[in-house]
Amino acid sequence: MKFFFRRLSRKPSFFIMGCLSIFFAQVILNLFIFGYLELDKMKEMWKGSFTLRAFFVVGTPPEKIQEVQEKIAGWAAVKQVVFVDAEEARKRFLEYFALSEEDLPGGENPFPASLEVLPKKLEDLPKLAAEMKRIPVFDEVVYGGKNVEELLRFHRFFVGVGGIVVLGVFVFVLLVIGNIVTLKVRFHQEEIRVLRLMGATNRQIRASFLGEGVLEGFLGGMTAFVVSSFFFRFFLEFLGTSFPTFFWVRFEDFFLLLFLINVFLSGILSTVGTLAAVNGVLREMP
């Protein structure tokens, strides 16, 4: 039925409002998706820098070292264990501070051998450190400590509090969408009554609103996708050139995710919203 074009041409403002509300819901969601992915990327980056380092007590026999290394490598939370001997540690030290052999006084190598442990999940770092401290062969166990904990806290904060805030805004936008659709259906209440008196079934009436709803969702979602895509593309380019040392999400990585969420979610939102609103009005009618 072509009631949809009839309604659209007589009262385009409802259609535009519907599109806009879907658009804003999607843009808010897109920003959150971006933030989440970016944070994950950052976490990934810092994971490399905050490796757990455990120094052996000077004089630990090589068999003991081997045994401990194998034991730790067998733990479920551990991704990788690398042994760094005293010689290697010294070389790294010189390299790091750009010193030459002469700058360092000769004699006994003051650097102890150590194990570099990479956890599978950054969150496991403190627990892993505590466990390793309990093994007597280690003199000291260190990691990014405060920094790592802070990063983890921030991550939890963003995902938790930020998530709740965005969810709240999202729910609010959903309510706005719902109310706009309801308003629209109510505006056409008299016309629905006429259609019913002419023998239109509830299904026909529902269908006559659904076309418009789906198109609204599609247009709103697509606009959100296009606008977000442009924004993220240029924003990421800007970030990449301004702060080249950081890791930024690559736009190509979440392009598809963005597209799917924008198109499908808005389609579902508008379809469900329309059906609920029409059913509500139909139920009220005798």
Partner 1 sequence: MENVKPFLEFRNVSKIYPTGVRALEGVNLSFREGEFVFLFGPTGAGKTTLLKLINREERPTKGEVWLSGCRISHLEERYVPLLRQNLGVIFQDLRLVPEWTVFENLLVPLEVLRVKRSKAFQMVKEMLRFLQLEKKGLHRVEWLSGGEKQKLSVGRALIHRPELVLADEPTKNLDEESAQAVVGILSEFAQETKATVIVATHDQELLRIFPGRVVTLERGKVRAS
Summarize as ranges the residues that interact with partner 1 (CB under 8 A): 1-3, 6, 10-11, 190-191, 193-201, 204
Work out how close the CB of 16 gets to partner 1 at its nearest, in angstroms, rounded to a whole number.
17
Work out how close the CB of 286 gets to partner 1 at its nearest, in angstroms, rounded to a whole number.
8
Distance CA 17, CA 181 (A): 9
Only one residue has tokens 């979610």, namely 265
Q: Of 133 and 193, which CB lies nearer to partner 1 in the complex structure? A: 193
Q: Of 6 and 156, which CB lies nearer to partner 1 in the complex structure? A: 6
Q: Around 98, how many Cα atoms within 13 Å sit in the side-chain half-sphere?
A: 0
Q: Of 5 and 264, which CB lies nearer to partner 1 in the complex structure? A: 5
Work out how close the CB of 11 gets to partner 1 at its nearest, in angstroms, rounded to a whole number.
8
| φ, ψ of residue 139 in degrees (nearest 5) | -80, -45
Measured at the CA of 16, the angle between CA 14 and CA 21, to 5 degrees, comes to 95
Distance CA 196, CA 190 (A): 10
Token digits of residue 154: 């921030």
Q: Of 11 and 79, which CB lies nearer to partner 1 in the complex structure? A: 11
Work out how close the CB of 151 gets to partner 1 at its nearest, in angstroms, rounded to a whole number.
59
Q: Are 228 and 258 within 8 A, CB to CB?
A: yes
| 111: nearest Cα among 96, 130, 132 | 96
Q: Of 9 and 241, which CB lies nearer to partner 1 in the complex structure? A: 9
Work out how close the CB of 215 gets to partner 1 at its nearest, in angstroms, rounded to a whole number.
19
Q: What is the 3-state secondary structure (H, E, C) of 238-264?
A: HHHHHCCCCCCCCHHHHHHHHHHHHHH
Q: Of 92 and 193, which CB lies nearer to partner 1 in the complex structure? A: 193
Q: At what angle do helices 189-197 and 266-284 cross, to 10 degrees?
A: 70
Work out how close the CB of 198 gets to partner 1 at its nearest, in angstroms, rounded to a whole number.
5
